Amino acid sequence: MVMKISRPSHRAFIIACLVLVLLPHLVQAQFGVEVKLNKPTFLTYEGVEATVTIANRSGTDVVMGSPTGDSWLSFSIKDPHNNPLAALKVRSDENMIFKAGATISRTISISDIYSFSEYGNYTIAATVYHPPSQQYYTSNHVRATFTDARPFQEIPYGVPAGLPNAGQIRLYSLAILRDEDHTLLYVRLIEERTKLKLATFSLGTIILVSDPQLSLDKDNRLHVLFMVVPHIYAHVCVDTQGKVIKRTYYKEVETNRPKLVAEAGNTIGVDGGVPYDPTIPVETRPKGRSIGDKPPGL
């Protein structure tokens, strides 16, 4: 006996194809998830922040989280060798109602868990749990490029008494990183004996018209004065624990350029230029006359 295999009708075949094409879009209908990083290029060991934006497209309100701190947000990361790292689950006691049609955003410091110590490209994606359907929705995949820069100066210092790790000898290590759009000035805190990198962060954009000026005050805090845009300088103070505790700006006036100077009490200040506030809008310049505004008789 010969059995015949019935062929699906042409209409059924088209419907099946449409289901396969539309299925990914139907799956994504509950939550729309997008992740962005604070920037694309980093120094190794630098802090990385990911902002996750979630749109509730389910048509109903959704309860997110629980008193037990169950995670509804996690990150998947692949290292430069394309090896997956352990999932980073963001735990929170937050219990909220996610309204239908609403959008929420959360910014997470991923580097609090991962050190990002290797050179190359890491791939990062966010995953959000939808409790009613018990499904997970994954965001786009973003790339974080990690590189390194040779320090142009290293300044040793001791951690003062009364602070964590008092007496430990460390280095303020300064380097320049050029990415696609900017040139950035970086500071690293390094334990001198073990060469352990304790902190890595950017002080901001720099213009290398003149070399940055460096000095330590009586508390071994680092003071840096550098040009951020033409004729505008930033004075930044970094403490021995790797925190920026002061940032002020000065404007060069003709040939009167700002410079770091020692002041009374072995403190460090700025001499020259004038204080500048970048938050104040530039005054609107008078508009030129149009051709219809010619003085009478011309």
The per-residue DSSP string of 279-291 comes to: TSPPPPPPPPPPG
Indicate the class that CATH gives domain 28-146.
mainly beta
CB-CB contact of 196 with 183 (8 Å): no
Render pLDDT for 225-274 as a digit per residue (tens, 0 to 9): 999 999 999 999 999 999 999 999 999 998 899 999 998 888 999 999 99
Residue 210 confidence (pLDDT) above 90:
no
**Cα-based distances in Å from 164 to 95, 156, 190:** 36, 17, 15
Looking at the chain, which residues constitute the CATH 2.60.40.3880 domain(s)? 28-146
Cα gap 193→94, rounded to integer Å: 42
Residue 289 has pLDDT above 90, yes or no: no
What does the pLDDT read at residue 66? 63
Mean pLDDT of 32-53: 95
